[in-house]
């Protein structure tokens, strides 16, 4: 069912949800579960047992190679996401969910996942065991042996539709937080919401939560019916659940909360970010998150601003320095376009750092996207010193935009 659907909806997947974070098996989880496609007791998926690839580009981050593809494939119907490791007893409970007789969770794989931000957009990174995960990725990807060997050898696979979007440096490396990872393959994988695949050693180094999500195939059972049973068994707040078959053709499930679990220093300023798509490109963050992270305070030049509390000290310090250097006139308070703005980037289902209150736009009229802009370069240097990235440095420039890149203590 899932594979046939993939053929019909491949074009729709390119625009589908990417804020909910699919991820994958850690290579060390040799007893990860996958079941039979038509019901019955779940069987164990074979994890990687081959030696570490001899030609591994990054031996320090290499894991066992996946071996040849066995040919077994599954559809990706439901993605369940938690903000922490899913206990074994909850996994067992999930496997016991049935719609009628043996129909229910037909196959599944445990996932570890997180997110990172580049050029103002949030991307999804998944630590995968190629042997166990590849059967969920579509036939072209599953049979792309070099991709899985490169991942095992410590490189990364990036979804091929991101070739013109993600900035890869001249040596072929992608920056994720403080780490540079070599891009070994452009992947045709079809599991929605995965932008970058890495192996378990890189997952550990990046701090991905272990096994905090599960990708499910429901066999001949309706994904919607299985979802209802899962929500009944666990309650609607235990997992965020994305119906991938619906997402592939219609976009996000409105009215259901989603999780973003960042990695690296970004995590400190965001924690676990839960939100609900509410239509029109807008999202509604969890009110508890807003109370914990979003504040309104007075700052020099701009006046009262509403931003993430972790960014506020650095923003204030940068603006104080702008004033001390006699550059206050270079920032136009009447052309300030805001900081905390919970919505998707226009024309996509990706979140910007404005959703977390970690970015601000000012001097808007003279600094439109795709232009060199008129931003004073000394002001830019001050903001960079105080831990901000500038959108004017991006491949597709956004010179009005500054966002938190690293934590700097004004003290």
pLDDT value of position 183: 96
Per-residue tens of pLDDT for the chain, all 411 residues: 333 333 333 333 332 222 222 222 222 232 333 333 334 454 334 566 567 777 788 999 999 988 888 878 887 788 888 889 989 999 999 988 988 776 788 888 888 888 898 888 889 888 988 888 898 888 788 889 999 999 999 999 999 989 989 999 999 999 998 899 999 999 988 787 789 999 999 999 998 899 888 888 887 777 888 888 999 999 988 998 877 754 444 455 555 666 666 665 567 778 888 888 765 567 889 999 999 999 999 999 999 999 999 999 999 999 999 999 999 999 999 999 899 988 877 656 778 889 999 999 999 999 988 889 999 999 999 999 999 999 999 988 899 999 998 888 776
Tokens (6 digits) for 109: 């794989």
Tokens (6 digits) for 321: 């320095």
SS3 string, the chain, reads CHHHHHHHHHHHHCCCCCCCCCCECCCCCCCCEECCCCCCCCEECCCCCCCCCCCCCCHHHCCCCCCCCCCCCCCCCEEEECCCCCCHHHHHHHHCCEEECCEECCEEEEEEEEEEEECCEEEEEEECCHHHHHHHCCHHHHCCHHHHHHHHCCCEEEEHHHCCCCCCCCCCEEEECCEEEEEEEEECCCCCCCCEEECHHHHHHHCCCCCCEEEEECCCCCHHHHHHHHHHHHCCCCCEEEEHHHHHHHCCCCCCCEEECECCCHHHHHCCEEEEEEECCEEEECHHHHHHHEEEEEECCCEEEEEECCCHHHHHHHHHHHHHCCCHHHCCHHHCCECCCCEECCCCCCEEHHHHCCEEECCCCCCCCCCCCCCCHHHHHHHHHCCEEEHHHCCCCCCCEEEECCCCCCC
Cα 312 to Cα 350: distance, rounded to the nearest angstrom: 24
Name the nearest CA neighbour of 139 among 2, 338, 249: 2
Instruction: Compute how many other C-beta atoms are within 10 angstroms of the C-beta atom of residue 372.
Output: 9
pLDDT value of position 406: 86
The distance from CA 386 to its chain's CA centroid, rounded to whole angstroms, is 26
- 146: buried, middle or exposed (CB in 10 Å: 19+, 13-18, 0-12)? exposed
pLDDT value of position 251: 53
In sequence order, what are the residues at sequence separation of 6 or more whose Cβ sits closer than 8 angstroms to the Cβ of residue 146? Answer: 184, 185
Tokens (6 digits) for 5: 């659907």
Helix runs in 210-311, H state only: 223-234, 244-250, 266-270, 287-293
- The answer to whether 270 and 293 are in contact (CB under 8 A) is yes
């Amino acid at each position: 069912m899932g594979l046939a659907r993939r053929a019909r909806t491949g074009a729709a997947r390119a625009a589908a949800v990417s804020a909910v974070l699919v991820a994958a098996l850690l290579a060390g989880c040799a007893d990860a579960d996958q079941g039979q496609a038509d019901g019955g007791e779940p069987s164990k998926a074979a994890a990687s047992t081959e030696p570490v690839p001899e030609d591994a580009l990054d031996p320090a981050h290499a894991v066992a190679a996946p071996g040849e593809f066995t040919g077994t494939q599954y559809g990706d119907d439901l993605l369940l996401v938690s903000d922490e490791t899913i206990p074994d007893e909850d996994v067992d409970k999930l496997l016991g969910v049935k719609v009628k007789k043996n129909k229910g969770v037909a196959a599944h794989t445990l996932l570890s996942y997180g997110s990172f931000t580049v050029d103002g957009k949030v991307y999804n990174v998944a630590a995968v065991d190629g042997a166990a995960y590849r059967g969920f990725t579509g036939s072209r990807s599953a049979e792309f042996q070099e991709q899985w060997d490169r991942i095992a050898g410590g490189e990364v696979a990036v979804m091929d539709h991101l070739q013109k979007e993600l900035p890869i440096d001249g040596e072929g490396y992608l920056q994720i937080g403080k780490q540079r990872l070599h891009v070994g393959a452009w992947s045709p994988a079809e599991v929605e919401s995965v932008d970058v695949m890495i192996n378990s050693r890189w997952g550990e180094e990046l701090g991905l939560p272990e096994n905090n999500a599960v990708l499910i195939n429901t066999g001949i059972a309706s994904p919607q019916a299985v979802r209802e049973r899962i929500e009944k068994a666990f309650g609607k707040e235990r997992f965020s659940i994305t119906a991938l078959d619906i997402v592939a053709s219609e976009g996000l499930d409105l009215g259901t909360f989603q999780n973003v679990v960042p990695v690296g220093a970004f995590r400190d300023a965001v924690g676990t970010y839960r939100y609900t798509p509410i239509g029109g490109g807008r999202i509604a963050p969890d009110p508890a998150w807003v109370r914990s992270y979003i504040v309104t305070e007075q700052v020099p030049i701009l006046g009262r601003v509403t931003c993430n509390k972790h960014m506020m000290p650095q923003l204030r310090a940068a603006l104080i320095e702008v004033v001390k250097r006699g550059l206050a006139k270079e920032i136009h308070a009447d052309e300030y376009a805001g900081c905390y703005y919970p919505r998707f980037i226009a024309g996509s289902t990706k979140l910007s750092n404005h959703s977390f209150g970690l970015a601000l736009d000012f001097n808007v009229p003279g600094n439109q996207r795709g232009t060199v802009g008129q931003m004073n370069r000394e002001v830019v240097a001050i903001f960079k010193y105080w831990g901000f990235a500038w959108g004017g440095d991006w491949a597709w420039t956004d010179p009005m935009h500054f966002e938190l890149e690293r934590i700097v203590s004004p003290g």
